Structure 1
Amino acid sequence: MSERGARMSGLDRLVLRGRTVRSRFTVLYAALFLASGAVLLALTNLLAGTRRTTVSAPVRPPAVQDPALAAARQRIHDLESQLVQVQAEQAHRFLVGSLVALAVMAVVSALLGNLVAGRVLRPLRTITAATRRITAENLHERLGVRGPADEVKDLADTIDGLLERLEASFAAQRRFVADASHELRTPLATMRASVDVALAKAEPPPPQTVALAGRLRTELDRVDRLLEGLLDLARAQHGALADRAPVSLADLVTRATDARAAGIAARSLTLDDDGLQETAWTRGSPTLLARMVENVIDNAVVHNRDGGWIRVAASADGATARLVVETGGPVLDPEHVARLGRPFQRLAPDRTGTGSGLGLSIVAAVADAHGGRLDLHARREGGLRVTVSLPAADAPGGGAA
């Protein structure tokens, strides 16, 4: 599903954003600690400077006649000078020690801030990891965060409520697919049987009735194909792939082309399938993957010109298996080609009668449901190149993919 890729990319951005938040918390905690430490040291130095001002520098005593008194005053002056010098040296050492302590505490505060930030953000990382594990196939799981009723618990409960609503919505869609499959096929079969009964009467029907019956059959077949395409699209987008198994892309292509040999011959198309490799294996639903390959081949046959060509290749490159189907034809608009993966999109209005417009959208949905993607490119020489990339798998028996 396209939502799955968006969800994964959104969760990756959330993880990166969480790391940024942790860095911001670390800087914030360290800055607050350093600011408070700097203020404390500034107040300490200010008070120490205030005390130093109470001891003023000694003043040179005036000359006196009494030698003993002059010597005593000189001694007092020298002691006061030494005291001022000692206080200045102590103030300098105190300032240097304060700066060294502040530098050491800057490192310690950064480490402690990072530790505290990680502790604070741990519940959010747990919620992120749990949310990443929950996909459309296991919406029944819940975060189930335990703890006090705080903001984190409220966030987890909100996400659990959202998952519950999503689970109910997906279940309703799957029920609708099952009900629509039964309810819509039944009247189509009844209408088809009525037409056959009307033509099987003993009396030959009028030519107008025969022509009308033929048109009705054609339209009923078209509605039946449209319904089948819608059901396959819904299953690929919302259904669980419970029947996963190793599947050979080359075998799927061979069966699809063999089943359409008459249509290929009727349009005098040249089929080149020399690029099929037996190592092109993937793992997934055989039914959906077969429908995906059939749709790609059908698109190449139907939307081609008489006497044209089709080139098909299936290969494996490391962890990726690729199916490439190329066709010739007129030069196409790349902007129009890019929209072909959406439902009910066609290249031109004159092609509205050639299909339901679901073929390549089903291919895109099936590829996305298997962890792959569909790429459409307009060839410079004219025509279309369809590339389906899927995760590679080992062939049964231990062969490397």
Structure 2
Amino acid sequence: MARVSLRWKIAALAAATACLVVAAVGVLVHVWTAQDIRSRAEAQASNTLYSAMDTYRRTGTLAEGAELDPAALPAELRHPADDDRHTAYDGRVDGNLGPSVWAAQRVGDPDSPVLAVQVNMSPELYGLHRLDVIMAVASLVTLAAATPLAVYGAGLLARRLRRVSETAGRISAGDLDARTGPTKGGDEVADIAATVDLMADSLAQRLRTERQFTADVAHELRTPVGGLLAAADLLPPGETEDLLRARVRDLRGLVEDLLEISRLDAGAEQAVRAHVPLDSVVSEAVARTGLDTEVAVIDAAHADTATTAPTVETDPRRLERIVSNLVVNAHRHGGTPVRVTVEGRTVVVRDHGPGFPPELLRDGPSRFRTGATERGSGHGLGLTIAQGQARLLGAELRLDNAPEGGAVATLHLPD
């Protein structure tokens, strides 16, 4: 369904309202004027009949255009029941005559003729028709002038709402410094803008508190974890020592990951760029994981021909970190075989497992959540760090599922 701007909706509503008002006023004026014309015609006919009746009774002559028993007299006036004056409307039109109002009165006894006069309303009704045309033209002119004003006013409101919407979108995308700022007018739009800014302030404060807490915890854990690792080295060789050393190494890796995330969140990290061959960096990163992973370099122009990947300007250490995290995540939560493809400036990590869950594709990676079923749904720190490092490098990291199954992580480096 096509999306209609609020600006045009308001303009259409204003135009429709103006049309309804114009139509209502036009109908009321027409009806009132028509009734007034008929009332005045009846009064004129009655007065003319009174004068003509007086002249006829005094002189016996017809005056004021009066007639005795005219053929066109309406049936209800041919046999008046008394000697009073009566009026009737005649809607017949004969050339320029009609519609008209008749007034009639019997001149004497019940067998005497009826004296009648006719008042033609065609000039007044023609004037009413001209009034209708003038009102219609004036209404169209007014509507033509008012519609652009309504569009302009609706545009002002729509721009203010769009500004608030854009700010909310930037906040939703992660820009916690986005603010609508002061808006003109103390209306509901200004209230919405102020509420969005207040929400952003509160959200930013909470996130800063959370990030600071994460950084403080990781920093404070660094020393005791180092002590645990040193103490593990003093244990006699054996299964217990190996198990303890492995758990301490895992704990140290978690602390280092937390510190890395806190630095990325705080914007404290800076990329040290250099011109490096992309295939060599990717191959070395995969080799350091120690996992069975296939690496292929594809020529973009000849998809079936192996070739050397281009040289890119990037931070090789951070690029290795991204690739290694993607490969480890593919082995840990996906399924073999895992294949890494380098094509141009794009690195694709593909596994053959169940694929990324829908909530990850919808919301993105979340820290402190892992894909292991025994620890709940979602993903852990690996993808979160990869996403943060990619953002620092100005690269784009997309997470998708292959149609035939399996997760696909695509890293595209900037030119």
* Bin for the TM-score computed over the shorter chain: 0.5 to 0.7
2:270 partner amino acid: D
Shift of 1:334: 4.7
Look up the match of 2:386: 363
Counterparts of 2:396 and 2:149, CA distance in 1: 44
SS of aligned partner of 2:32? helix
SS of aligned partner of 1:55? helix
Do the aligned partners of residues 371 and 37 (structure 1) sit closer, same or farther apart at CA in structure 2, a change above 3 Å counting?
A: farther
CA contact (8 A) 1:263 1:301 kept: no
Shift of 1:213: 1.9
SS of aligned partner of 1:291? helix
Question: Is 1:87 the counterpart of 2:89 in the alignment?
Answer: no
Shift of 1:49: 0.9
Counterparts of 2:171 and 2:359, CA distance in 1: 30
Counterparts of 2:16 and 2:286, CA distance in 1: 72
Do the aligned partners of residues 277 and 243 (structure 1) sit closer, same or farther apart at CA in structure 2, a change above 3 Å counting?
A: farther
The number of residues matched between the two structures is 344
Mean Cα deviation higher: 137-146 or 110-119: 137-146
CA contact (8 A) 1:146 1:153 kept: yes
Shift of 1:336: 5.9
Look up the match of 1:38: 23
| Larger relative contact order, structure 1 or 2 (CA cutoff 8 Å, min sep 6) | 1
Look up the match of 1:164: 201
Q: Deviations over 1:319-370 (max 9, x none)?
A: xx53212356xxx445769869666444777xx9xxx954345435655775
Mean Cα deviation higher: 182-191 or 164-173: 164-173
Query: What does residue range 212-251 of structure 1 map to in structure 2 within 5 Å?
Result: 212-233=240-261, 238-240=265-267, 243=270, 251=278
Look up the match of 1:55: 41
Q: Percent identity?
A: 23
SS of aligned partner of 2:41? coil
Shift of 1:184: 1.3
Alignment partner of 1:257 out of 274, 279, 283: 283
1:240 partner amino acid: G
Q: Deviations over 1:34-76 (max 9, x none)?
A: 33322322232222112211214979999x9xxx95586379x
Look up the match of 2:348: 324
Look up the match of 2:76: none
Higher alpha-carbon Rg:
2
Do the aligned partners of residues 242 and 109 (structure 1) sit closer, same or farther apart at CA in structure 2, a change above 3 Å counting?
A: farther
Q: Deviations over 1:153-178 (max 9, x none)?
A: 33333223222222222222332232
Counterparts of 2:118 and 2:395, CA distance in 1: 85
CA contact (8 A) 2:215 2:258 kept: no
Query: What does residue range 325-344 of structure 1 map to in structure 2 within 5 Å?
Result: 325-327=349-351, 332-334=353-355, 344=369
TM normalised by structure 2 equals 0.64
1:40 partner amino acid: V
Counterparts of 1:347 and 1:130, CA distance in 2: 36
CA contact (8 A) 1:322 1:387 kept: no
SS of aligned partner of 2:65? helix
CA contact (8 A) 2:371 2:380 kept: yes
Do the aligned partners of residues 39 and 87 (structure 1) sit closer, same or farther apart at CA in structure 2, a change above 3 Å counting?
A: same
Counterparts of 2:277 and 2:65, CA distance in 1: 112
Shift of 1:87: 1.5
Look up the match of 1:372: 396
SS of aligned partner of 1:165? helix
1:255 partner amino acid: V
Question: Is 1:292 the counterpart of 2:322 in the alignment?
Answer: yes
CA contact (8 A) 2:348 2:408 kept: yes
1:96 partner amino acid: V
Higher helix fraction: Structure 1 or Structure 2? 1
Question: Is 1:393 the counterpart of 2:414 in the alignment?
Answer: yes
Counterparts of 1:227 and 1:210, CA distance in 2: 26
CA contact (8 A) 1:344 1:358 kept: yes
CA contact (8 A) 1:326 1:386 kept: yes
Counterparts of 1:164 and 1:157, CA distance in 2: 11
Do the aligned partners of residues 358 and 118 (structure 1) sit closer, same or farther apart at CA in structure 2, a change above 3 Å counting?
A: closer
Question: Is 1:313 the counterpart of 2:337 in the alignment?
Answer: no
SS of aligned partner of 2:409? strand
Do the aligned partners of residues 244 and 156 (structure 1) sit closer, same or farther apart at CA in structure 2, a change above 3 Å counting?
A: farther
Q: Deviations over 1:232-273 (max 9, x none)?
A: 45555x34376357687962x523432554765x85x65433
1:388 partner amino acid: T
Look up the match of 1:12: none
Do the aligned partners of residues 261 and 161 (structure 1) sit closer, same or farther apart at CA in structure 2, a change above 3 Å counting?
A: closer
Shift of 1:183: 1.0
SS of aligned partner of 2:340? strand
2:283 partner amino acid: T
SS of aligned partner of 1:144? coil
Do the aligned partners of residues 135 and 249 (structure 1) sit closer, same or farther apart at CA in structure 2, a change above 3 Å counting?
A: farther
Counterparts of 1:348 and 1:135, CA distance in 2: 29
Unaligned runs of 5+ in 2: 71-96, 101-116, 300-306
Aligned-residue Cα RMSD (Å) equals: 4.7
Do the aligned partners of residues 150 and 359 (structure 1) sit closer, same or farther apart at CA in structure 2, a change above 3 Å counting?
A: closer
Query: What does residue range 91-170 of structure 1 map to in structure 2 within 5 Å?
Result: 91-130=128-167, 139-140=176-177, 142-145=179-182, 147=184, 149-170=186-207
Do the aligned partners of residues 184 and 280 (structure 1) sit closer, same or farther apart at CA in structure 2, a change above 3 Å counting?
A: same
Unaligned runs of 5+ in 1: 1-15, 200-204, 395-401
Shift of 1:188: 0.9
Do the aligned partners of residues 326 and 280 (structure 1) sit closer, same or farther apart at CA in structure 2, a change above 3 Å counting?
A: farther
Shift of 1:141: 5.6
